[in-house]
Chains A and B, each alone.
Chain A
Amino acid sequence: MNMAEAQWQGVMPEHASGASSKLIVESVSKWFRTPRATVHALDSISMQVAAGEVVCLVGPSGCGKSTLLDIIAGLTKPDSGHVLADGHLVTGPGRQRLVVFQEPSLFPWLDVFGNVMFGLKLCPELTNDGRREIAHRFLGLVGLEKFERVHVHELSGGMKQRVALARALAADPQVLLMDEPFGALDAMTREHLYDDVQRIWRDAGKTIVFVTHNMREAVCLGDRVLLMSQAPGKIIQAFDIPLPRPRSIYDVELVGYAARIADALRGTVGGGVPE
């Protein structure tokens, strides 16, 4: 781990936060081969995330930000480079790095409570009573304690993502990876969730990597925003967001930050309109 850090000092000195680095992504590249063409998705991405830090990845669609998240999760293997979590090489998925996906990923054959219990049952250190208590607590935290016995198909899109969040948080992962979790929701539901998520994160103190293409969402939630270029994706700029929390997406300063990032993105895509 020390060697990796030493290497890192030179690359991005302002963020080389030393011993507290939870995640280290080191020159990760990825190509996708289709019968027609080879797409260079990620071009030697390096970044690190401190423990308890919220890092947002933004970029144009198709820039490989979801692929990067998959690689950090261990669901996809990089073609070169590697990811270290707590100094250990990531070789596959594991419950220390839980993912909240954009698509509905709840299991429809289980009710809301059963979905939250699914992850908990894979934690051998807990007792059954302990699992149930935790599931109740986290469903309460996302405001769904009255919906425990409801089936997934009866929930709205926003409620589904709340359950997915509770399911991920309940298993107490060290790192939470969120892949545009609110992308499919309407604006009003999303704004509600920003408030909830900030409150929950403040209490939970998780290390979070949050992928989005919404600038204001990124600035609202992130301690740091990393801007990625179009494919092949690489990190072209990092923005520190020193705004006090909880943040509102209508805050003037926050909008200013979002505009600056959007401008930077526009520069990279040659006058195109960012999403």
Chain B
Amino acid sequence: MRRIVVPSLFFMALLGIWGIAAGSGRWSPVLFPSPWSVAEYLWGALLDGTLVEAIFVTMKRLLAGYAIGLLIGLPLGLLTSSSQMLEDTIGALALGLQTLPSVCWVPLALLWFGQTEGAMLFVVVMGTVWSVIIATDHGARTIPPIYARAARTMGSQGLHLWTRVMLPASLPFLVSGMKQGWAFAWRSLMAAEIYVTILTGFGLGQLLHYGRELQAMDQVIGAMAMIVIIGSLADRILFSPWERFLHRRWGTNVE
């Protein structure tokens, strides 16, 4: 109960301070709208369908890029963890490119693909895949070797060893890798949507971008709020419970 009441009070206080500051008249409401006008904008956007449409378009792009990122990243991460040579080559490449902020892929993507969905997808995949490789590689290396040793003495080997022992043993770390990948895919997509303006879909990032073009600060802040809310909901609903469950059950108390 306490863990619900205290945060609620905290965020209500934050909104209150924002409201008082906006209402004080020191700043132009065009540049510093009140929480109510942002809420009003979001309500209107919800009713006329732009918000739902934007969320839908964004999610579609996110899932496609994320799925491709996982499909490439998870196997590569497992491979780099099992071979020194791959670690020194692909692993080093992943480590290097992971330091590149995903927005830096945008110019390249625009020149290669133009203002297309392909450019968007490319940025998301590039933003996701390296961090997934690194997280998976790290996870697979932390699997206690005792599991494989015990399984081998019981006659497990080859495919059986990989699917019945190594895969379940690395599950907590795969989920961490997937969570990491999700966070990076989300950031990359927002960068891509702000810079790639196309007619095939109008996502949350574009909502934010056009808010700036129209100098509609309530739209800018409203879009930012939605991005925060969706990002943290995904973390809380999709990943955290799983991660907690796996780490508790597996006895790998990372948290």
Contacts and interface: CB of A to CB of B under 8 A. Distances in A.
A93 B251 contact: no
B155 A101 contact: no
B168 A109 contact: yes
A134 to B, nearest CB: 14
Interface in A93-115: 93-95, 97-99, 101, 103-105, 107-109
A90 B249 CA distance: 36
B155 A122 contact: yes
A260 interface: no
A92 B147 CA distance: 16
Interface residues of A, number: 27
Given A109-B250, A153-B251, A95 B168 contact: no
Nearest to B149: A75
Contacts of B164: 118
Contacts of B149: 75, 99, 101, 105
Contact of B153 (A73, A107, A153): A73
A97 B153 contact: yes
Contact of B249 (A75, A151, A167): A151
A87 interface: no
A93 B168 contact: no
Interface residues of B, number: 21
B156 interface: yes
A108 B249 contact: yes
A101 B249 contact: no
B154 A119 contact: yes
Contacts of A107: 147, 150-151, 165, 168-169
A209 interface: no
Interface string A227-266: 0000000000000000000000000000000000000000
Nearest to A164: B150
A87 to B, nearest CB: 20
A42 interface: no
A171 B153 CA distance: 11
B236 interface: no
A96 to B, nearest CB: 9
Contacts of A95: 153-155
Contacts of B154: 95, 98, 118-119, 122, 167, 171
A111 to B, nearest CB: 10
Nearest to B165: A107
Contacts of A93: 152-153, 155
Interface string A106-136: 0111000000001100110000000000000
A73 B154 CA distance: 10
Nearest to A153: B251
B252 to A, nearest CB: 8
B171 interface: yes
B250 A108 contact: yes
A95 B151 CA distance: 9
B171 A109 contact: yes
Contacts of B249: 108-109, 151, 153
Nearest to B164: A118
Most buried by A among B151, B155, B160, B250: B155
A21 B154 CA distance: 22
Interface of A: 73-75, 92-95, 97-99, 101, 103-105, 107-109, 118-119, 122-123, 151-153, 167, 171, 177
9 contacts: A74-B153, A92-B152, A101-B150, A103-B144, A105-B147, A118-B164, A122-B156, A123-B155, A171-B154
Interface of B: 144, 146-147, 149-156, 160, 164-165, 168-169, 171, 248-251
Given A99-B149, A101-B149, A107-B165, 17 more contacts: A75-B149, A75-B153, A92-B152, A93-B152, A93-B153, A97-B153, A98-B153, A101-B146, A101-B150, A104-B146, A107-B168, A107-B169, A108-B249, A109-B169, A118-B154, A119-B154, A122-B154
5 closest Cβ contacts across the A-B interface?
A: A95-B155, A105-B150, A109-B168, A119-B154, A122-B155
